[in-house]
Structure 1
Amino acid sequence: MLPHLLHRLNPLPLESLPVADPGRPDLSSPLGFLRWLQRRQRRGQLLATLWGVLEMGCLAALPLAIGRGVQAVVDHDGGALRQAGVLVALLSAGQSAATVLLHRRAVWNWIRAVSTVRQLVARQASHLGAGLSHRIATGEIVAVSSGDVEKIGWYVELVARVRAAVLVWLGVSAVVLVRRPLLGLVVLLGVPVLAAAVWPLLGPFERRYSAQRALGGKATALAADTVAGLRVLRGIGGEELFLQRYRAASQQVRGAAVRTARTWALMQAQEVLLPGLFVVGVTWYGAELAADGRIGVGELVAVYGATAFLAAPLRILGEAAHAWSVARVSAARAVRVLALARSAAPAGVPPTLHHPERSDLHDPVTGLTARAGRLTAVVCGDPDAAGALAARLGGQPALAEGEAPELSVRLGGVPLDEVVLADARAAVLVHDKEPVLLSGTLADLLDVPRSARIEPADALAAARAEDVLEALVDGSPECGGDPMRARITERGRSLSGGQRQRLALARSLVADPPVLVLDEPTSAVDAHTESRIAAGLRKLRADRTTVVLATSPLLLDQADAVLLVQDGRVAATGTHRSLMAAEPRYRAVVTRDETETGTGPAITPAPTHVRSEEVR
């Protein structure tokens, strides 16, 4: 019976999540972002306010009904006592139903806000791609997606309950003001004064909480980096060093959390003490009125109950002050992530790429030009500079926060970071130095948007992945000997470094983009395999634009043109053999000979590549 009644009171079903489009948030300020989230769920906020008013209204009216019953007993009025009993039963039933409906709607409002923020962060991460990790710490993104979204959802959900508490407080004050003007005036003015008493503590609490969240983000980033490099750390015996660093960072977070908790404990103590003193004072005054005979015993009970009820709105207002403090910090962090722009391009109609397969790729920052339909190799003495260049060639400049925007890479004369993101990614694919393999079957891995010009079997053959297929079949008995049905574990951890690298290369080759940028695609394979991959790559990418950032002579010798980038600019151009013969700076990088000198500044030699299939 009760579920049916509740359904009749709230007939519209809850919408499904995630929503198709989370919308375009207001990123002008943290408060603007929080207001935007509230506007996104107007119906939910309205219903939560309605059920909150009903719940607290019934709770506030109960002392009046009980007071009438007490007075009826004093007056020996059986009829009035029965009426008071029926009224108490109705108010209790109404309060119970409203509590269920309020809880249901409040939880949904929280879930909806949390889901919306997570969708926005996920969309932003997809929009910015690999450049996101260069512009903001990974720990910051994790913190926003986990702890911060919960604080934001808490505040958004609480706003409706605050509205309900204020409305019921005004109603109770009006009733008491009519019955007892002086007492009503005390109730009307006392609650705001008590609620405002907690505000002086909000500034210190917010500053301490902000410091705690910042330290927590740094600790999360340190933990993520440690886990990601655990194999290397074990190889050099550095686990204990990084463990000590994380312990130190963790202790800093703990200390900041303790300082925050002290302020929060003081705020909670204040929320209990001040309303208690208020209730004692009002009740004392009512008792004096009853002792003088100016009010009856039943009315004294009603006054006490109504005053004690006011502790509930005060508690909600105190909770709102806390929620506002943490939500504003969390919203500021979310806005910081969501406000990152792909480029500084002016608003307007985005330009269109025309025939990207026949367009030259030009980087005005370095002066690099990759001719259409040719295999171009780029040699950088600094591996970090090579990674930044690869990201820039994909239209995702890897800028640190606060740096001025760089000139955009141009494809066929069109600025790539001004093109619609989907078109830019369809035209240029960047193969990362450390690509990620998602768990699933090999068929799932190779099921990517592609031109259908290159079959998966051809891509696997060009990547020389024969032994990888055998390893996958051996590790997946359920595939029945079919490598395409073989399972790949999370991040391909069951495979060696070279095997993972070749599967990722095959995935990029299957996509067959007009422009393919490869950053050290064979750094973890042996020389014999690398030579065969270089030949297969040149054959499979014939008449397609390919840029390879590498220092391996086996790859460089297959390129139509080789460019040496030094100090952020193209310093020499030619074939691999001509540069080896005539350019000492190029020779110093490729041969890793620190004694090689040239006319230009010294170059930091690239690290020696690992040439072992046993890299794990």
Structure 2
Amino acid sequence: MDHPGGYRAPRARINPDSNRSWLRRALPVVLAHRWMFGSALALAFVGLVISVQIPSLLQGAIDNAIVTHRDQLGHYLWWIGGLAAATLVTGYLSRLLLFRTAYEIEYDLRNIMYEHLTGLSFPFFDRAQTGQLISRANSDIRSVQMYLTFAPFILVQCGIAVVAFGYMLAINVPLALVSMLPMPLVFLAGRRMQNTMFPVSWLIQSRLAEVATVVDENVNGVRVVKSFAAEGRQLQAAQRAANRLRWAYVKDADLRAHWTPAVQNLPRVGLVIVLLLGGYLAVQGELGVGAILAFNSYLMLMQMPFQMVGMLIMMGQRAAASAQRLYEVLDEQPEIVDAPDARELTGCAGEVEFDSVRFGYAEGPDVLQDFSLRVHQGETVALVGRTASGKSTVARLLPRFYDVRSGAVRVDGIDVRALTTHSLREAVGVVLDEPFLFSESIRDNIAYGRPDADITDIERAARVAGAHEFITELPEGYDTVIGERGYTLSGGQRQRIAIARTLLVNPPVLVLDDATSAVDVQTEQRIHAGLGELLAGRTTLVIAHRLSTISLADRVVLVEGGRVVAEGTHTELLATTPLYSEVLATAADDDMTGATA
């Protein structure tokens, strides 16, 4: 995949083998940062090894300097201070590198997810919920990143318990073994906690996505909600989603409250055993006071990892659930892909043909049935038909947003499935009836397809689209930043900017899908005056219902039931095809209704 300058692609990818565990699939992303991550873990281990030496020095200070006065106390104090300083430095460096690694892994995961989403086909987005995708691209990625980064760090701290246990064995073998008696119980409690928390962790992530979906739909559909005075119903929907999420969180808290204290506090039973048995050995003169102090310090060092086991299990279950949700998206394969021998569409002349096309969305019925149409180079053809007759579907098949079930769509005599989608979509410009604008300046929105375009070309496209006048009246002209999806503009203004955006790219084939439906007749006439020159020599497919738009066409095609039922000039169809007159009359009534509303 080609990337624009300045973008740094992820250093590794998720392993595509779905039979592997989620950790093994994510391992390449972690290994891509192995030097920084390894350094962080090594420094953490060194710091812990240094800290393990301090109890031994305390033992020597008490037994040799305070009790027997064989050594100078200051000697031990200098060593303890020096080791403490070394622990501080290694701790700082290890955490610095650890958090940098965490953010690098998060960067890679987010970009892997976004790149994959941009590569998926329209059918996926037809069935996917935006809130679900946003949740997976945010909270789920954060859960996976936290575990991938901090679980090894916690395991390093658990590893230091082995070193501490070695020192305990060196002091007194029976006492060291007896102090480990609660550890099997800790393991069993941890396994039980893991098994009970996974379903709840998965449920939490799923219900977080439900809440995100409700919020997304309410924000994006706020105009519909308010127009139907449905705020109360939407609040109830949000409340239901929030209550379901709250129940999952409370259940998660109950499980953690049930198991975490056992996992964290069982090791302290070992401390009680040490005090009882160690005290007895000290009274009998078999163990020094300094040795008991050192033994307790080592046991405290061993307790810290076990106290973190609960958090590690919780993070692991949350991450496993999140990873499954991420992999559900990452394992989706695009339906529209370039053939291995796909060719570039160069020097496009603009000859377009639909040959016996049959097509339907998902598993639904056919929308187009034996649809055949040829548009010659430089010709402007208007598609006219009732609502749901298949006109807009034709516009989506030409740039290969979807693949036909049978038949073929050809550009310059080449099946679009034999062309690279990038070159095809560069040659076919589409202006939809519901234009999407970005929360950027008007200049950036028009120049979206040609980011390097100068202001002269941008203004020329805006003039042809009838947008220049209202743009110059805005506070900052072309530098005015519009609101989300362009809702600070009227529907007609958004459509004109969308037309300018496509015209600036200057594609040899242009599809106007009811692109002026939201503008008034006078404005539409000015747009058509500008388009008249621009469409000369350009192959254009116009999906239209207004007579003013149809007048742009060299030929009119009547579509009914997914088929071409008649074609000719506007005058010929009026004279020979009653259905054509009926469709135009219905469209005129709709326009009059909209004008008087």
TM-score between both structures, scaled by the size of structure 1: 0.82
Helix, strand or coil: the match of 2:15? coil
Amino acid at match of 1:396: F
Q: CA deviation at 1:218?
A: 2.3
Report what 1:319 is aligned to: 311
Q: CA deviation at 1:26?
A: 1.7
Q: CA deviation at 1:241?
A: 2.4
Report what 1:19 is aligned to: 8
Query: Distance between the aligned counterparts of 1:405 and 1:185, measured in 2?
Result: 72
Paired residues, what number? Answer: 573
Amino acid at match of 2:293: V
Report what 2:471 is aligned to: 469
Residues 283-294 of structure 1: pairs in structure 2 closer than 5 A:
283-294=275-286
Residues 24-43 of structure 1: pairs in structure 2 closer than 5 A:
24-29=13-18, 30-43=22-35
Helix, strand or coil: the match of 2:349? helix
Query: Distance between the aligned counterparts of 2:574 and 2:24, measured in 1?
Result: 59
* CA separation of 1:427 and 1:308: change in aligned 2, threshold 3 A: same
* CA separation of 1:171 and 1:486: change in aligned 2, threshold 3 A: closer
More moved, 366-375 vs 28-37: 366-375
More moved, 345-354 vs 37-46: 345-354
Amino acid at match of 1:19: R
Amino acid at match of 1:501: Q
* CA separation of 1:464 and 1:213: change in aligned 2, threshold 3 A: same
Matched, 1:554 2:545: no
Matched, 1:208 2:190: no
Q: C-alpha offsets along residues 26-78 of structure 1, whole Å, 9 cap, x if unaligned? A: 23343333212211211122012112212222333322222222223553325
* CA separation of 1:102 and 1:177: change in aligned 2, threshold 3 A: same
Report what 2:226 is aligned to: 234
Query: Distance between the aligned counterparts of 1:610 and 1:33, measured in 2?
Result: 58
Query: Distance between the aligned counterparts of 1:565 and 1:138, measured in 2?
Result: 33
Report what 2:520 is aligned to: 526
More moved, 189-198 vs 245-254: 189-198
Query: Distance between the aligned counterparts of 1:302 and 1:260, measured in 2?
Result: 38
* CA separation of 1:292 and 1:443: change in aligned 2, threshold 3 A: same
Residues 474-489 of structure 1: pairs in structure 2 closer than 5 A:
475-476=475-476, 483-489=477-483
Helix, strand or coil: the match of 2:111? helix
Q: Tell me if the contact between 2:157 and 2:305 (Cα under 8 Å) persists in the aligned partners.
A: yes
Q: Tell me if the contact between 2:264 and 2:310 (Cα under 8 Å) persists in the aligned partners.
A: no
Q: Tell me if the contact between 1:342 and 1:396 (Cα under 8 Å) persists in the aligned partners.
A: no
More moved, 371-380 vs 166-175: 371-380
Matched, 1:511 2:511: no
Q: Tell me if the contact between 1:356 and 1:427 (Cα under 8 Å) persists in the aligned partners.
A: yes
More moved, 126-135 vs 24-33: 126-135
Query: Distance between the aligned counterparts of 2:409 and 2:179, measured in 1?
Result: 67
Q: Tell me if the contact between 1:109 and 1:153 (Cα under 8 Å) persists in the aligned partners.
A: no
Residue of 398, 401, 410 corresponding to 1:393? 398
Q: C-alpha offsets along residues 239-293 of structure 1, whole Å, 9 cap, x if unaligned? A: 3222222222222222222222222333432332223233333443333333333
Q: C-alpha offsets along residues 354-373 of structure 1, whole Å, 9 cap, x if unaligned? A: 44333425455233545243
Residue of 135, 154, 157 corresponding to 1:162? 154
Amino acid at match of 1:465: A
Q: Tell me if the contact between 1:514 and 1:545 (Cα under 8 Å) persists in the aligned partners.
A: yes
Query: Distance between the aligned counterparts of 2:278 and 2:539, measured in 1?
Result: 88
* CA separation of 1:392 and 1:590: change in aligned 2, threshold 3 A: same
* CA separation of 1:148 and 1:565: change in aligned 2, threshold 3 A: farther
Report what 2:365 is aligned to: none
Helix, strand or coil: the match of 1:592? helix
Matched, 1:545 2:539: yes
More moved, 514-523 vs 102-111: 514-523
Q: Tell me if the contact between 2:13 and 2:28 (Cα under 8 Å) persists in the aligned partners.
A: no
Residue of 447, 456, 459 corresponding to 2:458? 456
Query: Distance between the aligned counterparts of 2:90 and 2:408, measured in 1?
Result: 58
More moved, 108-117 vs 163-172: 163-172
Amino acid at match of 2:402: P
Q: CA deviation at 1:589?
A: 5.0
Report what 2:437 is aligned to: 437
Q: CA deviation at 1:397?
A: 3.0
Query: Distance between the aligned counterparts of 1:83 and 1:409, measured in 2?
Result: 87
Query: Distance between the aligned counterparts of 1:224 and 1:564, measured in 2?
Result: 39
Query: Distance between the aligned counterparts of 1:395 and 1:551, measured in 2?
Result: 24
More moved, 153-162 vs 168-177: 168-177
Residue of 492, 501, 505 corresponding to 2:495? 501
Query: Distance between the aligned counterparts of 1:41 and 1:509, measured in 2?
Result: 45
Q: CA deviation at 1:136?
A: 1.9
Query: Distance between the aligned counterparts of 1:407 and 1:297, measured in 2?
Result: 90
Report what 2:321 is aligned to: 329
* CA separation of 1:24 and 1:130: change in aligned 2, threshold 3 A: same
Report what 2:447 is aligned to: 447
Report what 1:51 is aligned to: 43
Amino acid at match of 1:145: A
Query: Distance between the aligned counterparts of 1:389 and 1:373, measured in 2?
Result: 18
Q: Which runs of 5+ in 1 are unaligned?
A: 1-16, 399-403, 477-482, 594-604
Query: Distance between the aligned counterparts of 1:154 and 1:143, measured in 2?
Result: 16
Amino acid at match of 1:69: A
Query: Distance between the aligned counterparts of 2:492 and 2:340, measured in 1?
Result: 45
Query: Distance between the aligned counterparts of 1:499 and 1:393, measured in 2?
Result: 26
Q: C-alpha offsets along residues 564-607 of structure 1, whole Å, 9 cap, x if unaligned? A: 5555x3242414735566556666655438xxxxxxxxxxx998
Helix, strand or coil: the match of 2:473? helix
Q: Tell me if the contact between 2:352 and 2:412 (Cα under 8 Å) persists in the aligned partners.
A: yes
Residues 92-491 of structure 1: pairs in structure 2 closer than 5 A:
92-128=84-120, 133-185=125-177, 191=183, 194-343=186-335, 345=337, 348-360=340-352, 362=354, 365=359, 366=368, 367=371, 369=373, 371=375, 372-379=377-384, 381-382=386-387, 390-397=395-402, 410-412=410-412, 414=414, 416=416, 419-450=419-450, 455-472=457-474, 475-476=475-476, 483-491=477-485
More moved, 283-292 vs 378-387: 378-387
Query: Distance between the aligned counterparts of 2:267 and 2:577, measured in 1?
Result: 82
Helix, strand or coil: the match of 1:574? strand
More moved, 383-392 vs 167-176: 383-392
Query: Distance between the aligned counterparts of 1:320 and 1:415, measured in 2?
Result: 54
* CA separation of 1:240 and 1:283: change in aligned 2, threshold 3 A: same
Q: Tell me if the contact between 1:127 and 1:421 (Cα under 8 Å) persists in the aligned partners.
A: no
* CA separation of 1:53 and 1:486: change in aligned 2, threshold 3 A: closer
Query: Distance between the aligned counterparts of 1:535 and 1:337, measured in 2?
Result: 46
Query: Distance between the aligned counterparts of 2:132 and 2:51, measured in 1?
Result: 43
* CA separation of 1:350 and 1:295: change in aligned 2, threshold 3 A: farther
Amino acid at match of 1:512: N
Q: CA deviation at 1:155?
A: 0.9
Q: C-alpha offsets along residues 116-170 of structure 1, whole Å, 9 cap, x if unaligned? A: 1222223233334766532421112211222112111101211331342243122
Amino acid at match of 2:464: A
Query: Distance between the aligned counterparts of 1:204 and 1:389, measured in 2?
Result: 52
Report what 1:5 is aligned to: none
Q: Tell me if the contact between 1:205 and 1:325 (Cα under 8 Å) persists in the aligned partners.
A: yes
Matched, 1:574 2:576: no
Let me know the Cα RMSD of the aligned residues. Answer: 3.6
Query: Distance between the aligned counterparts of 1:340 and 1:284, measured in 2?
Result: 60
Q: CA deviation at 1:511?
A: 1.1
Q: CA deviation at 1:344?
A: 5.8
* CA separation of 1:407 and 1:94: change in aligned 2, threshold 3 A: farther
Q: Tell me if the contact between 2:193 and 2:313 (Cα under 8 Å) persists in the aligned partners.
A: no
Amino acid at match of 2:567: G
Query: Distance between the aligned counterparts of 1:262 and 1:379, measured in 2?
Result: 62
Q: Tell me if the contact between 1:370 and 1:376 (Cα under 8 Å) persists in the aligned partners.
A: no
Q: Tell me if the contact between 2:350 and 2:509 (Cα under 8 Å) persists in the aligned partners.
A: no
